[in-house]
Amino acid sequence: MGNRKQTVVVLGASPKPARYSNQALRLLDEAGYRVIPVHPRVESIEGLPVSAGLTLIDEPVHTLTLYVGEARSTPMIPDIVGLNPHRVIFNPGSESEQLEQKLRAHHIEVIHGCTLVMVRTNQF
């Protein structure tokens, strides 16, 4: 849906092909999105350059898709809000009431869904 050149940030990107976050970034890349995986200790995933952190991303972000649990996302709330994405997708297992409240307070759209399903069914 919309512009295929939209930037999508995958927080919790994994270099392991079996992980959902890895499958999502491959699917998004194949669909023509600009994908930025975020991982603190990996330089490249599936041929895509990795950002070590959200604060290092200096371009407009349409979608942030979360693959980290609440314990990992809570300390990152200021960085997530500071990234100012158009929307944030909470994939199963990434739910956080505190983060959701902060996003809504900053008028950032919140979606509970599965990125893989959304891309495959053209609802992304």
Nearest CA to 31 among 8, 49, 65, 64? 8
In order along its 124 residues, the chain shows pLDDT tens digits of 444 589 999 999 999 999 999 999 999 999 999 999 999 999 999 999 999 999 999 999 999 999 999 999 999 999 999 999 999 999 999 999 999 999 999 999 999 999 999 999 999 9
Q: Could you identify the residue written with the tokens 């992304």?
A: 124
Q: What local confidence, expressed as pLDDT, does residue 34 receive?
A: 96
Using alpha carbons, list the distances in angstroms from residue 3 to 7, 16, 56, 77, 84: 10, 28, 24, 27, 18
- 3-class SS at 39? coil
pTM value surpassing 0.85: yes
Q: What local confidence, expressed as pLDDT, does residue 1 receive?
A: 44
